[in-house]
Every structure is written in C-alpha cells, then in structure tokens.
Structure 1
C-alpha cells in the first residue's frame, strides 16, 4: 500500500509539471514580445507644452553684441545688422511658437588700434561656447524643437563653425533638428561649400587667405588665429547652409593670394565700406537686400 501511494504521488507531480509546461508554452505563443530597451515601440516622443516649435538663433557681428545683452530684446547696438532680421520675425510670429534668441557675447576684436579689447580668438570662443550651450540646453528640455541659425561677420564664423560640427556628427543636437543655416560675410567662406543664394564671388574668406601667415598677423591683430577652411565643410548640413557674400567684401571675398600680409590683416580689422552695406546693397542678392532675403528664408522654414 505504501508503494502504491508513492507511485500515485509521483504520477500527480508529473501531471502538474506537464500542465505547467503546456500553460507556459501557450502563454509564450500569445503574449507579445517585450520591447527592446524596455520601451514601448508605439510610444510617441513628447515635450513640455512651453516648448516652441522653432528657435531662431541670431549671432551678431563684431561690436554688435555684449555678454550681458538680453537675448530676447538685445540693445547693445541698436544698429546691429541682425536686428533688421530678428525684429521683423518677432513681429510676425507668436513667441509661443517661435522663439527668436540673439547670442549675447563679447563681440570684440583686439588690434593695434584697440589693445584694450578682447582678442578675436577669445571673443569667438566665448560666443561659440554660449551658442552651443543654448542649443544643448534647449534640446535637452525640448527634444522636438527645431533650430534656424543665422550669423553676420564674426557671428557668421561662430555660426558656421557650429554648423560644421553638427553637420559632421559632433554637435550637441542632431542634424535633423536644424532647418537651415545662413552665414553673411563669413570669414571662413570657401567656394563650393554650402549653397549660394545670390551673387557668386571669386575670392575666399580672409581666414583662408591669411592662414599661412599667422606669424605676421599677430603684429596687427594679436590673439587672432586665422584657421583656414572648415575641415569636412558643413557635412550633412551642406544643402541647408547658405553662404552670402558681397562682391569685394574683404572679409569673405579676399584674394586667394595674400600679397601684402600686413595690408590684408589691416583690411581684416577695418573691413571696408562694403562690409557695412548688406542691409542696402543690391548686388549681393538680386531683387532683394540681404536682410530681406533672410526674413523671407526664415519665414519659409518656420512655416514649412
């Protein structure tokens, strides 16, 4: 009798094990597989309600900004070229949808006539760091916000350097979050890199012309390193980056042959009359001034 109970107990255990296996197999066939990374593949990415659809960032040129300037209402230089672009856009769009943000930085250029100013290297490094931090902070909080970036002169160098880093996969935001970049009078302009919406010019950016003569440049512009062309160009952003240069502007349309290096360096400091005419010069973009084109371009990108 004892043996009979033992046999029955063994049989009962085997039956229970078999039922458990069948239920597990049935469940494994009907239950969905767990998502990779612990996330639901149908989950839609969202961001806080206060985030804007587009942030338009403007980088002013030398002497057109200050480190303590209000990025939403800049007053450091009321004649800043970028104000002729940002103010019409602020009037056009609801700030709840489009944020217009102007880079506040020490936009200076130490030279033999202004030894008290911040050096070009330090100034643009400060501007670049602040610009990159703004994009990084905004993207971290608002991952679906897109960016439009525009810069003039020294601001164009800063904006172009940022676009190059992003386009080549080293930026603080992914390239697909950049709707467009516009560079006006870029000192590192290189023919064939980026798009040209207006007049084609035959020269190059002054930083390309003078790169090989950095040791001489320091005599006129101490602390200004001429860095030449941007390695990798604008990468993935090449088709969305527009380089605008007025013919004979010594900042962006310098001869490839440096010739008299000291004279070229002085021209870099003083620029020329043409460099200050982008808001009125009809030879840059046929049918419109540069600021008019920028307002129209940015409007189309916002409304796309």
Structure 2
C-alpha cells in the first residue's frame, strides 16, 4: 500500500510540473522576448571620404597659357592666362574642403608657319584631353559624390567641349549626373544652336567647322592641325548645362561658314587677334559686364546651389 501511494504521489507531481510548463508557455508575452538588433540603414550613395570637396572646378587654359609641368592648383606658367581671372577669385571665395579648383597643365601649343618648333595642335589637344580626363576619372573614383564644373578657353574650350560631348553621350569618364555645368569660351568647334548661347549673338561658327572642307589646304599653314568639323551628337544630355560664349568677330569661334580662301582664313586663325585676347575686358560679349564676371557669377551660382 505504501509503495502504491508513493507511485501515485510521483505521478501527481509530474502532472503538476507539466501543467506549470504549459501555463508558462501560454502566458509568456511576445514583449518578453528580446528582439534582434535592427540592421544599420543601407545608403544608396557610395561612401565619400571626409576630405573630398563638394565640387571640383576644372579649367582648361588656351594656347600658350599653360605648360605641361605647371602646378594645377597654383598655376604660374602664364600669369596673364584668361582662365586665371576666373579660377583665382573662386579659390579665394571657397575653402578647398568645399571647392577644389584645378587648372589643366598641358603643353598648349599650336605649330604653324610662324612657330615651326612648337607641338602640333593635334598633339597638344590630345595631351590636354588625356590629362583632363585623368583628373576627372581619379577624382570620381576617390570622391564618388563630388560634382564637377568644367570650363575652358580657346584650345582649352575645344578640349572641354570634346569631353562634354562624350559625357553627354554616356561614353565619358564620369556620369552625366555629376556634371553641374560646362562653359566653353571661344570654342573652335562651336555650332550655333548647340549648347546654350550666352552674351551677344554671333552668326559664324568655330574655325574647325569653318575649315573642315579645306583641311588639306590649311596644312601648309598649320601642319598637324586637323580641322575636324562639328561634334557628332552635340552635347547630348548635357546640352542644357553647356554655356557657349563667343565674342563677335573672334576668328576662333565666329568664323565664316562655306568654301573660301583657305590660306587667308588659316592665316587669320593664327594671327594675333585682339578680340580673342580680350575676353577678360571686352564689353561687347556681355553688355555692361565681362566674360570673366559672368563666369564667376555662373560658377558661384552652381556651387552655392
């Protein structure tokens, strides 16, 4: 009898334990369970190092306004360079951690009958294009959220316009969405209606467009200077962001279109051109102002926006 009661007591104890476990499981609230830690938010933007500027301004000087070993941050090769009238005020206005101002160091020469010892236009332009694109490529790789403002004068405008043409077609070294604006001043491949014309209107075209059909004849005056004509496709998706500036009667960007005296037109291209050399002071481009002042205001607006 005693053994039987012991067995019964053990069974009762087991039943009570089981009932307690079931009751605990049924009454435990979800809030008693510690939830897993949330994952950190995923950013759609690539990482940007702290040293990267918000904007980089890249300026391409014209012929004889730069050298291959010049300092791109503090260029000194030609203190009279037109682009310096724009870039130096921007450097003074903004700290480098906000805006980096970089000036293309390239040979910037134009071999012709008056300067046989110089690098040919084609070689100089190709050198400048390669260096300019390398700076864009490296900066975009290191600082993927940095935006760019591109500007160039004369031979530098041809370089910048060619690079903008490629970027606008989706074939450039940086995506088009990273370009805030482009300014080409006295562009030798200028076409009316391509880009956004600024300042007083001009009726002519760029020298490379004007002389394209006379290219073989002009080689006697400018060996190694290929007149390539207009840019195929224009500026593509960048068209509304490209500012085209040309002074009336500047033979580099306001040349006649059509067959004419190739030799005389080539000679006019390489001759000292007072209009071409006076964009910093010429009041006949932007009435009541100058190209320098307009460019500073335009770039400042893009940066501050």
TM-score over 0.5 (shorter chain): yes
For structure 1, the residue ranges without an aligned partner over 5 or more in a row are: 1-39
CA contact (8 A) 1:57 1:102 kept: yes
C-alpha distance after superposition, 1:199-222 (max 9, x if no partner):
110000010010011110110000
C-alpha distance after superposition, 1:82-126 (max 9, x if no partner):
000000000000111100000000000000111110000000000
TM-score (norm: length of structure 1): 0.86
Equivalent residue, structure 1, for 2:103 = 102
Equivalent residue, structure 2, for 1:143 = 144
Equivalent residue, structure 2, for 1:232 = 233
Q: Residue 218 in 1 paired to residue 223 in 2?
A: no
Equivalent residue, structure 2, for 1:158 = 159
Equivalent residue, structure 2, for 1:206 = 207
Equivalent residue, structure 2, for 1:249 = 250
**CA RMSD of superposed structures (Å):** 1.3
Distance apart, 1:44 and its partner CA: 4.2
Instruction: Evaluate the alpha carbon distance shift between residue 77 and residue 258 of structure 1 in structure 2; reply closer, same or farther with a 3 A threshold.
Output: farther
Structure 1 window deviating more from structure 2 (94-103 vs 270-279): it is 270-279
Matched position secondary structure for 1:148: strand
Once residues 129 and 236 of structure 1 are traced to their aligned partners in structure 2, the CA distance between those partners, rounded to angstroms, is 22
CA contact (8 A) 1:251 1:271 kept: no
Once residues 252 and 122 of structure 2 are traced to their aligned partners in structure 1, the CA distance between those partners, rounded to angstroms, is 16
Once residues 147 and 50 of structure 1 are traced to their aligned partners in structure 2, the CA distance between those partners, rounded to angstroms, is 16
CA contact (8 A) 2:279 2:292 kept: yes
Equivalent residue, structure 2, for 1:279 = 280
Once residues 170 and 261 of structure 1 are traced to their aligned partners in structure 2, the CA distance between those partners, rounded to angstroms, is 34
Equivalent residue, structure 2, for 1:116 = 117
Distance apart, 1:271 and its partner CA: 4.9
CA contact (8 A) 2:157 2:186 kept: yes
Instruction: Evaluate the alpha carbon distance shift between residue 211 and residue 43 of structure 1 in structure 2; reply closer, same or farther with a 3 A threshold.
Output: closer
Matched position secondary structure for 2:293: helix
Once residues 128 and 181 of structure 1 are traced to their aligned partners in structure 2, the CA distance between those partners, rounded to angstroms, is 15
Matched position secondary structure for 1:273: coil
Matched position secondary structure for 2:198: coil
For structure 2, the residue ranges without an aligned partner over 5 or more in a row are: 1-40
CA contact (8 A) 1:250 1:271 kept: no
Distance apart, 1:42 and its partner CA: 4.7
CA contact (8 A) 2:45 2:145 kept: no
C-alpha distance after superposition, 1:125-154 (max 9, x if no partner):
000000001000000110000000110000
Greater radius of gyration (CA): 2
Distance apart, 1:61 and its partner CA: 0.1
Once residues 45 and 248 of structure 1 are traced to their aligned partners in structure 2, the CA distance between those partners, rounded to angstroms, is 47
Distance apart, 1:287 and its partner CA: 2.5
CA contact (8 A) 1:167 1:236 kept: yes
Once residues 245 and 168 of structure 1 are traced to their aligned partners in structure 2, the CA distance between those partners, rounded to angstroms, is 24
C-alpha distance after superposition, 1:206-248 (max 9, x if no partner):
1001001111011000000000000000001000000100001
Once residues 132 and 43 of structure 1 are traced to their aligned partners in structure 2, the CA distance between those partners, rounded to angstroms, is 26
Matching of residues 126-141 of structure 1 within 5 Å: 126-141=127-142
CA contact (8 A) 1:251 1:268 kept: yes
TM-score (norm: length of structure 2): 0.85
Once residues 171 and 267 of structure 1 are traced to their aligned partners in structure 2, the CA distance between those partners, rounded to angstroms, is 33
CA contact (8 A) 2:249 2:275 kept: yes
Equivalent residue, structure 2, for 1:67 = 68
